[in-house]
Amino acid sequence: MEDDKPTRQQINLIITRIIQDLGVPANIRGYGYLREAILRAFYNPEVIHSMIKTLYPEVAQSFNTTPEKVLRGIRHAVDLAWNCGNMEAMSLDMGSPIYKLKYKPTSTQIIAMIVDWMQLHTGSEQTLIEPPGE
């Protein structure tokens, strides 16, 4: 059934809600980089295995910047989410106790976890109406 697939706009909405639920402020560059990285990884999950060589350069090209700045921006966004955000709520929504980790998750881990959750749940109309955090 082709109609069950979420639209790109619905996927963008889900990603935006997840990042906001994490507590990443929308006014930092890393927010946009993280959002774009998750979107690209959702549509091409293989890039998760080559973040440095493939994903970050692709995101950098979209924003007319360098892969190093993308990596730094995403790390900053993850740092803010870890230190000031709402990882506990995110963990409960995603079913993975991230907040109980003894170490801050890497950018790759966060992106991979979000993409994995989205791939498992985007076939459900309820998920499309009520993304995590609702």
- Give yes or no for a contact between 72 and 112, defined as CB atoms under 8 angstroms apart: no
Domains in the chain and their CATH numbers?
2-121 (1.10.10.10)
Note the maximum CA span of the chain: 43
Phi, psi of 44 (to 5 degrees): -145, 80
pTM for the full predicted model:
0.80
Residues 29-63: pLDDT tens digits?
Answer: 999 999 999 999 999 989 989 999 999 999 999 99
Residues 57-107: pLDDT tens digits?
Answer: 999 999 999 999 999 999 999 998 888 866 665 654 555 555 455 677 788
